[in-house]
Amino acid sequence: MSNFIVTADGGLTGMGYAICIVGIILLLVISMVLIKNTGEKKKLSSKQLGYCGMAIALGYICSYLKIINMPYGGSVTLFSMLFICLIGYWYGLKVGLMTGLAYGILQFLQEPYVLTLFQVCCDYLLAFTALGLSGLFTKSKNGLLKGYIVSVIARGFFHSLGGYLYWMNYMPDDFPAQFSRFYPIVYNYSYLLAEGAITLAIISLPPVKEALAILKKNAIT
Tell whether 5 and 23 lie within a shared domain. Answer: yes
Tell whether 28 and 104 lie within a shared domain. Answer: no
Environment class of 22 (CB within 10 Å of its CB; exposed 0-12, middle 13-18, buried 19+): exposed
The DSSP 8-state label assigned to residue 174 in this structure reads T
Amino acid 43: pLDDT: 67
Tell whether 97 and 173 lie within a shared domain. Answer: yes
Q: What is the mean pLDDT of the chain?
A: 84
Those residues whose C-beta lies under 8 Å from the C-beta of residue 158, and which sit 6 or more positions away, are 122, 123, 126, 127, 130
Tell whether 27 and 55 lie within a shared domain. Answer: no
- Number of compact structural domains in the chain: 2
**Better pLDDT: 204 or 19:** 204
Tell whether 18 and 89 lie within a shared domain. Answer: no
Tell whether 130 and 211 lie within a shared domain. Answer: yes
Amino acid 42: pLDDT: 59
Distance CA 210, CA 119 (A): 40
Tens digit of each residue's pLDDT (9 = 90 or more) over 164-216? 877 777 777 777 777 788 888 999 999 999 999 999 999 999 999 999 999 99
Tell whether 101 and 133 lie within a shared domain. Answer: yes
Tell whether 215 and 130 lie within a shared domain. Answer: yes
Tell whether 48 and 34 lie within a shared domain. Answer: no
Tell whether 74 and 148 lie within a shared domain. Answer: yes
Amino acid 196: pLDDT: 97
Residue 133 has pLDDT above 90, yes or no: yes
Tell whether 37 and 120 lie within a shared domain. Answer: no
Judged by average pLDDT, the poorest of 25-29, 70-74, 119-123, 215-219 is 25-29
Report H helices in the chain.
2-5, 14-36, 46-62, 80-91, 93-110, 117-120, 127-129, 143-162, 183-203, 206-220
> What CATH number does residue 61 fall under?
1.10.1760.20
Own/partner pairs for 203-206, CB < 8 Å, 24+ apart?
Answer: 203/82, 203/144, 203/145, 203/148, 204/145
Tens digit of each residue's pLDDT (9 = 90 or more) over 75-122? 999 999 999 999 999 999 889 999 999 999 989 888 777 777 788 888
Percent of the chain with pLDDT over 70: 81
Residue 152 sits in which domain range? 44-220
Amino acid 201: pLDDT: 96
Tell whether 49 and 117 lie within a shared domain. Answer: yes
Amino acid 2: pLDDT: 42
- Can you give the pTM of this predicted structure? 0.81
